[in-house]
């Protein structure tokens, strides 16, 4: 099952940090890549590529002009679309059904104003709590629930840097380049 996060309506500079964090969360929690729309931001693309080279694994960042087209293509290929929104159905009530579908998953998170077509095209509109918080936490919790915590022990292959968990302090070792289980 392939998992991709689609981030709509990125704004250059203003969303810099939020979007980078979102992409890093997608990577750390087991997504295969991200697609984003809005303003193209080559700096973020470069940052995520550098981090992926250093910390391992394969992670793809793609820019697309038209979000509606991304959704249509995803559907045409038989994938599931999950839109994370505080207005949707509670994650604890729907995640099991979503998990049972073996189709690829596109997880959509909006910008300031989400166009109506996203609610319409989504197979599931899912709320990670119906309280205001952050798309960053919403994506992490959704992936964590979808993958049932398996993402926490995901192996990132060909990492240059690998952390060895410590009771106190920091320990980073250079990766062997032969695949480093974390």
Query: Which range touches a second copy (CB under 8 A), out of 1-9, 71-79, 101-109, 129-137?
Result: 129-137
E strands, the chain, where? 3-10, 33-38, 60-63, 80-90, 105-109, 124-127, 161-163, 172-174
Q: Which stretch binds a second copy (CB under 8 A): 38-46, 73-81, 99-107, 161-169?
A: 161-169
169 contributes a contact to a second copy by CB under 8 A: yes
Torsion angle (degrees, nearest 10) of CA 137, 142, 148, 154: -60
**Residues sharing a CB contact under 8 Å with residue 167, sequence separation 6 or more, in sequence order:** none
Name the token pair of 40.
Answer: 């193209």
Closest approach of a second copy to the CB of residue 130, in Å: 4
Query: Which residues neighbour 124 within 8 Å (Cβ) at sequence distance 6 or greater?
Result: 80, 81, 82, 83, 88, 89, 94, 98
Choices 36-44, 72-80, 102-110, 146-154; region in contact with a second copy by CB under 8 A: 146-154
Cβ(105)–Cβ(4) below 8 Å: yes
Q: How far is it, in rounded angstroms, from Cα 116 to Cα 149?
A: 32
Residue 1's CB is within 10 A of a number of other CB atoms, namely 13
* 173 makes contact with a second copy (CB under 8 A): no
Asked if 75 touches a second copy (CB under 8 A), the answer is: no
Q: How far is the CB of 129 from a second copy (least distance, A)?
A: 5
Site for a second copy in 12-41 (CB under 8 A): 17-18, 21-22, 24-25, 27-29
Stretch that binds a second copy, among 5-13, 65-73, 74-82, 170-178 (CB under 8 A): 170-178
Residues that bind a second copy (CB under 8 A): 17-18, 21-22, 24-25, 27-29, 51, 55, 86-92, 119-120, 122, 125, 127-134, 136-137, 139-141, 144, 149, 151-154, 156, 162-163, 165-172, 182
């Amino acid at each position: 099952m392939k998992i991709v996060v689609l981030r709509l309506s990125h704004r250059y500079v203003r969303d810099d940090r939020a979007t980078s964090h979102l992409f890093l969360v997608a990577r750390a929690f087991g997504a295969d890549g991200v697609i984003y729309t809005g303003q193209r931001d080559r700096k973020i693309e470069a940052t995520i590529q550098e981090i992926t080279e250093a910390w391992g694994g394969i992670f793809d960042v793609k820019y697309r002009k038209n979000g509606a087209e991304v959704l249509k293509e995803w559907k045409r290929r038989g994938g599931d679309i999950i839109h994370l929104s505080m207005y949707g159905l509670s994650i604890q009530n729907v995640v099991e059904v979503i998990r049972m579908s073996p189709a690829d998953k596109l997880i959509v998170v909006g910008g300031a104003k989400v166009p109506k077509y996203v609610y319409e095209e989504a197979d599931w509109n899912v709320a990670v709590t119906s309280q205001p918080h952050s798309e960053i936490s919403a994506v992490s919790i959704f992936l964590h629930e979808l993958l049932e915590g398996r993402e926490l022990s995901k192996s990132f292959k060909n990492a240059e840097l690998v952390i060895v968990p410590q009771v106190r302090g920091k320990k980073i070792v250079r990766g062997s380049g032969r695949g480093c289980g974390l």
